[in-house]
Structure formats: C-alpha cells, structure tokens
Amino acid sequence: MFNQTDQMADIRRIAIVGSGLAGLTAALLLQRNNLEVTVFEKSRGPGGRMAAKRVPGGSADIGAQYFTARNPSFLEFLGQYAGESSFGAWRGRFGYQNSEGKWESFPDEDRYVGIPRMTAITRKLSETVELRTQTRIQRLVPDARAWVLQDTDGRSHGPFDAVIITAPPAQARDIVTNSQLHDLAAELDDPVLHIQPCWACAAYFKEPLSVSYDAMRCQSDVLYWVANNSSKPGREDSGQWWVLHANPEWSRDNEHTCAEQVADAMVCAFQQVAGCSVKPDDAVTHRWLYAKSSSTDNPGFRWFGDQRIGLAGDWLSGGRVEGAFDSAEGLAEKILSL
Ligand SMILES: Cc1cc2nc3c(=O)[nH]c(=O)nc-3n(C[C@H](O)[C@H](O)[C@H](O)COP(=O)(O)OP(=O)(O)OC[C@H]3O[C@@H](n4cnc5c(N)ncnc54)[C@H](O)[C@@H]3O)c2cc1C
C-alpha cells in the first residue's frame, strides 16, 4: 500500500490499539527511542486481561493470575517502568491434580503478581504514555502515506505513520476487515479459531477455608483453576476471596447461561475440588470471550511493511503475560531496526 516505504526515517508517529501489557510495552520501548506514540483503549482504563474486579472490601484478579519472567529483560523493564513496588513474588502453595486425580505440588518457580492488584502494573506503565481511553478503534483509513484511525463514535485520530494492533485476534480482524485490508484479515482467521473463552467467578468466604493449596489446577468438568486471591501479597482482605476459572469447554457450552447459574455451578464444582461444603458469602462473575490462545504457532509478532501495520500480543507468543511482553518487545525492535 505504501510501496515498500517502511524506512525508519519515515516513521515518527505511531498509533497503538490496546493498552494491555503488549500495547504499553510497545509504547514505552518506542517512546524511549524518541518516537511519538498514542495508545487507544476501548475500556475505561488500561490493563486488558491483566484485570482486577472491584469487590466489597477490595479487588480480585479475574484475568491473569500470575506471571513468569523467564526473559530477564521482562523484570528489568517492569522494574524500570512499573517500579519495584507495583509487583512482587506470590509465594503461595501451588498444586495440581495428576491424571489419577491425586494432588501433587507444582515445582517451585518465581511467580509474580501486581500489588495490591494485577492492574497496579499497567496503571504504572501507562502513566508516561499518551493514552486515550474509552476509544474503540473501528477502522484505519489511508491518508496520503499515513493512517487515520476512526473510532466507533465517529471521531478521527491521526495521521500516524504506522499502526500497531495489540487487540486479541477477533478484535484485530474486525479492525482490518473494516479497513478493507482483506489479505491481512485472512491471516487472522486461524488465530481467531484458537482463542478460548473463560467464565471467571470470585467467591468470598468470611471465614478462611482450610484448603491444602493456595492455587490449584484441577481436573473437573467445570473448573480448571482455583486460587485464594487473598493469599497474594498486598491484599488486605478480611476473610478470603477465591478466584475460580471454568475450563474452555464448559465456558463455551455456557456462553449464554445467566451469571447467577454460572456462579452456582462454579461454586458447587469448587466445593468438590476443595473438599468443603461452606457456602460463599458473596460471588461475582465475569465472562471472557477471548481469554487465552491455544495456538502452537508462535511467530512472536507480525510486521506488514507495505502497510506499516504491526500485530503484537500474547496470542503470537505463547498466550501468556510474558508472551505479551516478548511479542511487543520483538515488534518494537523490528520497527526500530528499519
Ligand atoms: C481468565 C484468564 C486467566 C489468565 N491467566 C493467566 C495466568 O495465570 N498467567 C499468564 O501469564 N497469563 C494468563 N492469562 C493471559 C494473560 O492475561 C494475557 O496473556 C495477557 O494479559 C495479554 O496481554 P495483551 O496485551 O496481549 O492483550 P490484552 O490484555 O487483551 O490487551 C488488548 C487490549 O486491546 C483493547 N482493545 C481491543 N479491541 C480494541 C479496539 N478496537 N480499540 C481499542 N482498544 C481495543 C482491549 O480492551 C485490551 O485492553 C489469562 C487470561 C485470562 C482471560
């Protein structure tokens, strides 16, 4: 479209769609190399799937539960831009059910969380970024050798020399389809098929439960994960908030089930997993239509030089928080190397 003009000298202003970890990482890495970056986010605040829901007395992490930092530059980046006080290690007891249904402990590993909630990290990262929240990008419109972004309220933003889309694949595909970029949209068909939904439920127990593990990957018809959110560092809950995640199959089968019924079924499954019959004193739910990618194809990131459009996000790099960082770091390095 732009006749192979993806020279760095021509790229000064960059638009980034999405303020999850991938979008904010790309923004900060490009900005420190003197590029002008604007981040657009459809929600009220940054964070994406590193999400926390306000609950009576505090908050519960209803999206990403913890993250690893095997790539040393990830911790370095977080220390520099989010600050040491916004995250820390979660020293919980982690267990899983083996194929015979017996509980075993997970090997020790450094597992990190935001403090006092998962969103603390992305709030900090977004502080020095130009972020336009409540702005859902609908399409990209070519304007001479640049892009103008149009949002769903009919506003135009730009022009920008390049665009990075960090939305999950179905939302990224909508944007490029609306922009008449049909070849690019076709490349997203397969990634869209690999995104799995997830019902999440946060359940409150006034009296602490007596359970052997703080976090459990379980074999259940309904659940695949339960964790005592109150065991994470910096949470000052009286009582315990447990976060339950339904498995992809159950979540898909119950996509349209009402929230009350979902909470009942998930709590009932939790009681079986935890071996207790205590009823929760409160419960809230959240439905993730695009939770995690099951794809084994991990190109890292995509850069379409002709169009000056980049794609980054967890789904291109293993489907986890650290993958979102790796993907954005890879794309930022690619753009800076042009
Ligand atoms: C239930 C659940 C449990 C998880 N557990 C873990 C875990 O324990 N460990 C782990 O490492 N990972 C976990 N993950 C995955 C982890 O949350 C993601 O890998 C990571 O947060 C993805 O970051 P991202 O920046 O790539 O995408 P996102 O966080 O999804 O960011 C994309 C952003 O784009 C915005 N957006 C979308 N469309 C538009 C548009 N048109 N205009 C403007 N903005 C738009 C979205 O609102 C969002 O903020 C979990 C995810 C879920 C949902």
**CA 160 / ligand 1 centre spacing (Å):** 24
Looking from the CA of residue 23, the nearest atom of ligand 1 is 25
Is residue 55 one of the residues assigned to a domain? Answer: no
Asked if 118 and 52 count as a contact pair (C-beta separation under 8 A), the reply is yes
Protein residue with its CA nearest to atom 20 in ligand 1: 321
- Residue pLDDT, tens place only, 73-111: 999 999 999 999 999 999 999 999 998 889 999 998 999
* CATH number, domain containing residue 152: 3.50.50.60
* Measured torsion, CA atoms of residues 32, 305, 135, 133, in degrees rounded to the nearest 10: -20
Residue 196 beta carbon below 6 angstroms from any ligand 1 atom: no
Q: How much is the mean pLDDT over the chain?
A: 95
H or E stretch at 38: strand 36-40
Q: Give me ligand 1 centre to Cα 48, in Å.
A: 5
Q: 162-165 and 240-246 as β-strands: parallel, antiparallel, unpaired?
A: unpaired
- Total domains in the fold of the chain: 2
CB-based contacts of 211, cutoff 8 Å, min separation 6: 228, 274, 275, 276
203: pLDDT strictly greater than 90: yes
pTM of the model: 0.97
Q: Is 122 in the pocket of ligand 1 (CB under 6 A)?
A: no
Cα 246 from Cα 200, distance rounded (Å): 6
Same domain assignment for residues 281 and 223: yes
Same domain for 45 and 129, yes or no, is yes
Q: Are 287 and 303 contained in the same domain?
A: no
Q: Which atom of ligand 1 is nearest to the CA of 21?
A: 25
DSSP structure string for 299-325: -S-EEETTTTEEE-SGGGTTSSHHHHH
Residue 22 Cβ < 6 Å to ligand 1: yes
Compute, in degrees rounded to 10, the torsion defined by CA atoms 311, 312, 314, 317.
Answer: 90
31 and 170 part of one domain: yes
Q: How far is CA 20 from CA 171, 279, 318, in A?
A: 14, 34, 16
Is residue 175 within 6 Å of ligand 1 at its C-beta?
yes
What pLDDT does 5 receive?
A: 53
pLDDT of residue 99: 87
Give the lowest-confidence range in 8-17, 108-117, 176-185, 307-316.
Answer: 8-17
| The pLDDT of residue 2 is above 80 | no
Nearest CA to ligand 1 atom 6: 64
C-alpha distances (whole Å) from 334 to each of 1, 29, 172 are 19, 11, 20
DSSP code, position 279: P
Is the pLDDT confidence value at 251 over 90?
Answer: yes
Say if ligand 1 is within 6 A of residue 326 CB: no
Model pLDDT for residues 32-49, shown as the tens digit of each residue = 999 999 999 999 999 999
Asked if residue 176 has its Cβ within 6 Å of ligand 1, the reply is no
State the residue for tokens 């969380």.
113
The reply to whether 206 falls in a domain is: yes
In this structure, the answer to whether residues 203 and 287 fall within a common structural domain is yes
Which atom of ligand 1 is nearest to 22's Cα? 25
Whether the pLDDT of residue 7 is over 70: the answer is no
Instruction: State whether the beta carbon of 243 lies less than 6 angstroms from ligand 1.
Output: no
- Tell me which residue range forms the domain holding 81: 60-116+196-293
CA of 283 to the centre of ligand 1 (A): 23
Confidence category of residue 70, pLDDT binned at 50, 70, 90: very high
115-166, pLDDT tens digit by residue?
999 999 999 999 999 999 999 999 999 998 899 999 999 999 999 999 999 9
How far, in Å, from the CA of 20 to the mean position of ligand 1? 6
Give the CATH number, domain containing residue 96.
3.90.660.10
Is the CB of 195 within 6 Å of ligand 1? no
Task: Say what the pLDDT of residue 8 is.
Answer: 64
